Structure 1
């Protein structure tokens, strides 16, 4: 009898051991994938649209679109402009979203295969004619978008950035007055910035889009005569390819210091064509203590303090240093 009891106890102990071991494994893999599972908190976005009237709202609602309850003309008057989206199983996911606010920003997008939503986001108000474009990409740099959010207050922004959201570059009230309104995207998987570049005109747009770059839709020469300068970035899901730091130089002394610290300089002067100082962006991949997930150009003075209070990397070098253009600062996480 004692032999059977011993055997039974041995089996019971073995079962408990297996259950305990499985629980540890489950916890380990669950913790490992927490960030990515947080990203994939919805189906993929498959279509985008915009309404500028009540009639259009009714039509899009009847077609199965959902809207984000933020007026893209908030604070500026004009039409109520709403952003709409669809999540459809089995359809291609949207992987990149861009905006155009100059006519010569459009050709590169169209030639690269972006879909145009032909509705002015500044309908009924003064300001730039802003149009939304979206893309179904299949490069290694295209990561499906699963959620969208809009902000109309700088105080809302740092928390979203820290929660894995990516802010797109264009103020959707650009030159219309009113609130600074930005579209944010959340991707299916945690992503990192692996490369940055800059352009001095629109001739290279098609090529850069085809290479998987996203354009930061804000001119670093905003408010001053000069070249139309834009920063660009590419995303990856491989953290080992991620950039680890960004910086800005406005003098030869700063260039020498950053070079000694292992930074690499972009060749484009972000002040090109103006009377201001030579301004360059720098990046590096050395060190693995932190990987950059997002970078932003901050033009809203209220945002500068909010980002710094939240502990987000804020480079205190004005990209329009030495001229009368808008004060623009680089931030990244």
Structure 2
């Protein structure tokens, strides 16, 4: 099924849930859930990434990053990135993994985000102009390698 929108849409916000208790809240606030567990194959609680759309490019996110070390965490803070609300490894006693976003600094707003599970597809995605953040959201686990991607 394809959807054609009257106006171009952009990603205006990203959130992460590590339980189903806030699903209804995000749905009521207009968020859309990526229909893939960001901890697929890990054997822990389901972790989902949610996003909200806007038709106003100035309200859109302009960049996404992933941190898995304290030094990268501090580096992204210094560059005015904002962390998404949940540590992907919360409660897992593993290194904290955060998704970060930035609104300013780019004339190319983010149009869509994707969780890429087929690592063999990375070259094709890059060739198509998709930014692939090649840091697994399952780092430190024996689960699948999953990359967060976005298209501008």
Common topology (TM > 0.5): yes
Partner of 1:78: none
Partner of 1:262: 80
* Worse-matched range after superposition: 300-309 or 218-227: 300-309
SS of aligned partner of 1:281 = strand
Structure 2 residue runs without a partner (length 5+): none
Partner of 1:249: 67
Whether 1:225 aligns to 2:48 is: no
Partner of 1:200: 18
Whether 1:287 aligns to 2:105 is: yes
Separation (CA, whole Å) in 1 of partners of 2:148 and 2:4:
21
1:287 CA drift (Å): 1.8
Separation (CA, whole Å) in 1 of partners of 2:102 and 2:7:
23
1:270 CA drift (Å): 1.2
Separation (CA, whole Å) in 1 of partners of 2:56 and 2:115:
24
Separation (CA, whole Å) in 2 of partners of 1:247 and 1:265:
9
How does 1:161-172 map onto structure 2 within 5 Å? none
Partner of 1:30: none
1:321 CA drift (Å): 0.4
Separation (CA, whole Å) in 1 of partners of 2:127 and 2:121:
10
CA change 1:323–1:275 in 2 (3 A) is: farther
Whether 1:310 aligns to 2:135 is: no
Partner of 2:115: 297
In 2, are the aligned partners of 1:248 and 1:317 still within 8 Å (CA)?
Answer: yes
1:234 CA drift (Å): 0.4
Higher-Rg member (1/2): 1
Q: TM-score, normalised by structure 1?
A: 0.44
For the aligned residues, what is the CA RMSD?
Answer: 1.4
Deviations 1:56-103 (A, max 9, x none): xxxxxxxxxxxxxxxxxxxxxxxxxxxxxxxxxxxxxxxxxxxxxxxx
